[in-house]
Chain A
Amino acid sequence: MIKFKNISLLILLCCSPLFVLAQNAAVVTVSGEVLTPLELKREDLTAFKPLSHKVKDREGKEHEFKGVALIEVLEKAGVTTGAKLRGENLAKLVLIQAADGYEVVYSLPEIDPEFTSNVVLLVTEKDGAPLPAGEGPFRIIAPQDKKQARWIREVRSIKVLFAKD
């Protein structure tokens, strides 16, 4: 029995470098001014209410994006939303970073339903399929933005930060 244990331990130890070198699953992290930092995989988003949004591309072809409301994700992380979005919390911003280094910022009231009827989405699907490489697995869709520069693709990190003066 002891011998067995030793062997399995040995195997485990030998394999551990493989685990270290193994590729990480694609996740989006939520960190910064949060109560609970999150690390979400695509499938973790099924815990939130599904939403969709239809967009016409440059050629006039319609695409349907599916995902969840970004505010729900922020609430899960314990960000100061809703009734707590007052006082100094109004000086917080949401910095969203992509795999290629691209970054955009939203303010909390731009996302919070008590301030706006616009819904900023964190989407994972386009036309019934997972977002393709270079766009997914996570993307932001902000229908209220005429220019799509903040519809950031390949989202890796969402940070809630205080604006520094």
Chain B
Amino acid sequence: MKRSAQIRTGPVHRGHKFLNVRWLILSIFVVCFLISGLRFADNKAEPYPLVYPANFGGRINVPSNNPTTREGVALGRKLFYEKKLSADNSMSCGTCHRQKLAFTDGLAFSVGVDKSLTSRNSMSLVNLLWVRNFFWDGRSASLEDQAVFPMTNEHEMGQSLETSVRKLQQTPGYREMFRKAFGEGDIDADKIRKALAQFERTLISADSPYDRYLAGTYQPTPQELRGMNLFMDAPAPERQVRGANCGHCHGGPKTFKELFHNNGLDAEPADSGREVVSRQAEDKGRFRVPTLRNIALTAPYMHDGRFGTLDEVLDHYNEHIRDSPTLSSFLKGVSNEKGGRTLMLTSGEKADILAFLNMLTDTTFINNPAFSDPD
């Protein structure tokens, strides 16, 4: 707008230079006034700054039709803890995703409104900004899509989005919050999904001792350092390098890579995992490789919560990998001893790795008031 005004009134003849400058200034004022007026009328929500360390990388996922705004996040946070979104007003997203437990619920399977159990373990909600395929089987391509499942599934919150919309319309305060977040227009299902997704994108964890170590502000203990090296290195007995190679799938500053693997829990998986989504036999028993951030807080472990402690998890990778046609090739024939069939870490080495895993606990994140129940 400004540019076209400039072109129209721009100085062409020397004689009119002074007049033209006045016109230019006036037109700029007019344009600015019009823009500010438009802003007012639109009641534009204010952008929410998503702040994260540079080493997390900028491959983040924010759909162009749902920019993250302060008003949208505030609404999403309220909705995240809103029990009216469940059929019997007993559960919110926060029921199975408790901040103190890094947004998990401490259970192998969660109890839904119908008192039945979910089929998989409640996942930690953290650094979702970088995730591209959600759930243990990666079936959902966005947080906006993902949110519908737990809200409407009969074994979880068990309520149609239409009912949720109606209940929110009847609750004082929501119309105003939706209007501030999304402009004019009534509460609808799409806006509920969008607001929840916006809040979830703000759940950034970047202040664990490991983050601080990477930033150069934390000196790990000798045990933590030994554990870190074992975590990152692949075993190479021919070169006298000992390792657990965890970092191959769990490495990087986020301790998260978007991967799906069969980690050898069963020779014949009861839950076929990603195969159901892709319909490819090669994906049988493959599940998301989850983030290890806050892993000490998110017991029990695995998609079915079969392991109660991290010690059991380490024992699994060290001693109990079950072979099957789709077992991850990165877990086959890997050993710290020449000709070894299992990883063969010592109990001391397992304790070292455990010390490193505890470095991934971000107490700033689990205590951040911005993520807690606003009521």
Let me know if B329 and A135 touch, CB within 8 A. yes
B333 to chain A, nearest CB (A): 11
Given A100-B286, A133-B325, A134-B329, verify A24-B280 contact (CB < 8 Å).
yes
* Contact bitstring A121-165, B, C-beta under 8 A = 1, else 0: 000000000000111000000000000000001100000000000
Any A CB within 8 A of the CB of B3: no
Among candidates A22, A101, A134, A153, residue contacting B326 with C-beta atoms closer than 8 Å: A134
Let me know if B328 and A23 touch, CB within 8 A. no
Let me know if A101 and B258 touch, CB within 8 A. yes
Query: Which B residues are CB-close (under 8 A) to A106?
Result: none
Please classify how large the interface on chain B is, using the bins under 10, 10 to 19, 20 to 34, 35 or more. Answer: 20 to 34
Query: Which B residues are CB-close (under 8 A) to A22?
Result: 279
Any A CB within 8 A of the CB of B261: yes
A133 to chain B, nearest CB (A): 5
Any A CB within 8 A of the CB of B31: no
In the docked arrangement, what's the CA distance between A22 and B281, Å?
Answer: 10
Query: Which A residues are CB-close (under 8 A) to B259?
Result: 100-102
Query: Which A residues are CB-close (under 8 A) to B282?
Result: 26, 99, 133-134, 154
Let me know if B283 and A99 touch, CB within 8 A. yes
Where chain A touches its partner, the secondary structure class is loop
Any A CB within 8 A of the CB of B257: yes
Let me know if A26 and B280 touch, CB within 8 A. yes
| Most chain A CB neighbours (cut-off 10 Å) among B278, B280, B326 | B280
Let me know if B325 and A100 touch, CB within 8 A. no
* Contact bitstring B327-359, A, C-beta under 8 A = 1, else 0: 111001000000000000000000000000000
**B window 274-317: CB within 8 A of A:** 278-283, 286
Query: Which A residues are CB-close (under 8 A) to B261?
Result: 100
Query: Which A residues are CB-close (under 8 A) to B325?
Result: 133
Please classify how large the interface on chain A is, using the bins under 10, 10 to 19, 20 to 34, 35 or more. Answer: 10 to 19
Query: Which B residues are CB-close (under 8 A) to A133?
Result: 282, 325-326
Let me know if A23 and B280 touch, CB within 8 A. yes
Any A CB within 8 A of the CB of B260: yes
In the docked arrangement, what's the CA distance between A90 and B352, Å?
Answer: 48
Let me know if A153 and B279 touch, CB within 8 A. no
Given A100-B328, A133-B326, A134-B326, verify A23-B260 contact (CB < 8 Å).
no
Query: Which B residues are CB-close (under 8 A) to A154?
Result: 282
Let me know if A134 and B260 touch, CB within 8 A. no
* Contact bitstring A6-40, B, C-beta under 8 A = 1, else 0: 00000000000000011110100000000000000
Query: Which B residues are CB-close (under 8 A) to A24?
Result: 278-280
In the docked arrangement, what's the CA distance between A23 and B282, Å?
Answer: 10
Let me know if A23 and B281 touch, CB within 8 A. yes
In the docked arrangement, what's the CA distance between A146 and B100, Å?
Answer: 46
A9 to chain B, nearest CB (A): 25
Query: Which A residues are CB-close (under 8 A) to B283?
Result: 99
Among candidates B260, B281, B332, residue contacting A100 with C-beta atoms closer than 8 Å: B260
Known: A100-B259, A102-B259. 19 other contacts (CB 8 A): A23-B279, A24-B278, A24-B279, A26-B280, A26-B282, A99-B260, A99-B282, A99-B286, A100-B260, A100-B261, A101-B133, A101-B138, A133-B282, A134-B282, A134-B326, A134-B327, A134-B328, A134-B332, A154-B282
A residues apposed to B, CB below 8 Å: 21-24, 26, 99-102, 133-135, 153-154
A-B contact pairs, 25 of them (CB 8 A): A21-B279, A22-B279, A24-B278, A24-B279, A24-B280, A26-B280, A26-B282, A99-B260, A99-B278, A99-B280, A100-B259, A100-B261, A100-B286, A101-B133, A101-B258, A101-B259, A101-B260, A102-B259, A133-B282, A134-B282, A134-B326, A134-B329, A134-B332, A135-B329, A154-B282
